[in-house]
């Protein structure tokens, strides 16, 4: 579905060879090696030493911020520049490492604990000859904050959210941060039955920003949960259905994350059926 070729200013990149529909699994990869957290440099170099000669060569072909480094310093540099969080460990995935970053990605990276591997899924329809990009950072950050964190990878992001639409994007993302704080605070106040105003606004802003992956699914979950607390099970089911669609698109139907989302929807539908049954009996 894609080929790895040079990308201007980004080294190598992954480009689609044909149209990739949203929800398509683009990659499944087992880690070359994993280091449990909290990790140390010694753990990384020890894991590297246990690789075969061919695997070490594959590892050393990955991007390093200081390629002139040698020995353990180069091994650590490559690990810090390419590692991904995979559950309670951090892993090296040579194929996944070739996907470059965008603050508005068109694909989603996930760890599938059931399969013991990572997956990459298209989260929008990706036209042919288009670079497939993942997001290395959390969405609720303004461009200045993202730029500072991404500098650890040794590059400057030039995606639309960082260059073309930076002012409008920063306004939206700053508002997202405020809404996220309000939603988190609301979770601790379980005695309240609140209209999901903040969660609905967050979902709207995520879609406006083009962030239609995991963050949008989480926002839909917050909306569904809030509607349940507000005694609107019909609306809760509606947004749980949306959450499930996003979850399946990002993680694949064989992911434990999708199992949890599906169970949540099933529970809501059962409660709604029971509620409707009581109302019918009362009439």
pLDDT in tens, the chain (283 residues): 999 999 988 889 999 999 999 999 999 999 999 999 999 999 999 999 999 999 999 999 999 999 899 999 999 999 999 999 999 999 999 999 999 999 999 999 999 999 999 999 999 999 999 999 999 999 999 999 999 999 888 889 999 999 989 999 999 999 999 999 999 888 777 555 568 999 999 999 999 999 999 999 999 999 999 999 888 999 999 999 999 999 999 999 999 999 999 999 999 999 999 988 888 887 7
Report the SS3 class of residue 118. Answer: strand
Cβ–Cβ < 8 Å for 200, 208: no
Q: How far apart are CA 218 and CA 109, in angstroms?
A: 15
Q: How far apart are CA 78 and CA 97, in angstroms?
A: 10
Please name the residue that has the structure tokens 């699914």. Answer: 217
Boundary-marking domain end, from 95, 125, 153? 153
Decide if 102 is inside a domain: yes
Decide if 161 is inside a domain: no
Q: How far apart are CA 94 and CA 58, in angstroms?
A: 7
Q: Which CATH number goes with the domain that contains 269?
A: 1.25.40.10
Boundary-marking domain end, from 129, 153, 177? 153
Segments forming the whole domain that contains residue 193: 166-282
**Same-domain status, 173 and 277:** yes
Closest C-alpha among 210, 100, 228, 120 to residue 164: 210
Q: How far apart are CA 99 and CA 4, in angstroms?
A: 9
**Same-domain status, 276 and 173:** yes
pLDDT of residue 192: 57
**Same-domain status, 129 and 172:** no
Decide if 231 is inside a domain: yes
pLDDT of residue 113: 96
- φ/ψ (deg, to 5) at 276: -65, -35
Number of domains in the chain: 2
**Same-domain status, 176 and 141:** no
**Same-domain status, 110 and 237:** no
Decide if 190 is inside a domain: yes
CA 140, 97, 14, 164 torsion-angle sign: positive
**Same-domain status, 146 and 9:** yes
**Same-domain status, 142 and 225:** no
Full-model pTM: 0.93
**Same-domain status, 41 and 137:** yes
- pLDDT tens readout for residues 103-112: 999 999 999 9
1: enclosing H helix or E strand: none
pLDDT of residue 152: 84
**Same-domain status, 34 and 106:** yes
pLDDT of residue 276: 84
- Tokens standing for residue 188: 């601790």
Decide if 236 is inside a domain: yes
Decide if 170 is inside a domain: yes
Q: Which CATH number goes with the domain that contains 114?
A: 2.170.270.10
**Same-domain status, 185 and 273:** yes
Boundary-marking domain end, from 102, 121, 153? 153
**Same-domain status, 7 and 95:** yes
Decide if 160 is inside a domain: no
Decide if 158 is inside a domain: no
**Same-domain status, 173 and 149:** no
Please name the residue that has the structure tokens 């201007």. Answer: 8
pLDDT of residue 186: 81
pLDDT of residue 185: 87
């Amino acid at each position: 579905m894609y080929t790895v070729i040079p990308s201007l200013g980004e080294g190598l990149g992954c480009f689609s060879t044909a149209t990739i529909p949203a929800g398509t699994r683009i990659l499944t990869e087992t880690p070359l090696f994993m280091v449990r957290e909290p990790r140390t440099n010694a753990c990384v170099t020890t894991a590297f030493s246990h690789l075969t000669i061919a695997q070490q060569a594959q590892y050393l072909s990955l991007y390093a911020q200081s390629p002139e480094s040698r020995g353990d310093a180069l091994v650590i540099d490559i690990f810090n520049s390419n590692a991904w969080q995979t559950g309670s460990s951090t892993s090296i995935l040579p194929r996944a490492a070739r996907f470059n970053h965008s603050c508005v990605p068109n694909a989603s990276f996930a760890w599938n604990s059931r399969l013991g591997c990572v997956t990459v899924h298209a989260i929008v329809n990706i036209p042919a000859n288009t670079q497939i990009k993942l997001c290395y950072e959390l969405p609720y950050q303004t461009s200045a904050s993202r730029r500072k964190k991404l500098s650890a990878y040794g590059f400057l992001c030039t995606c639309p959210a960082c260059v073309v639409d930076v002012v409008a994007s920063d306004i939206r993302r700053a508002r997202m941060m405020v809404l996220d704080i309000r939603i988190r605070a609301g979770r601790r106040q379980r005695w309240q039955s609140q209209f999901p105003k903040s969660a609905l606004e967050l979902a709207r802003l995520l879609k406006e920003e083009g962030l239609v992956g995991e963050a949008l699914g989480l926002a839909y979950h917050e909306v569904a949960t809030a509607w349940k607390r507000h005694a609107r099970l019909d609306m809760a089911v509606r947004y749980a259905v949306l959450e499930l669609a996003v979850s399946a698109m990002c993680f694949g139907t064989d992911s434990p994350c999708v199992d949890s989302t599906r169970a949540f929807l099933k529970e809501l539908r059962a409660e709604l059926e029971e509620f409707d049954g009581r109302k019918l009996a009362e009439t």
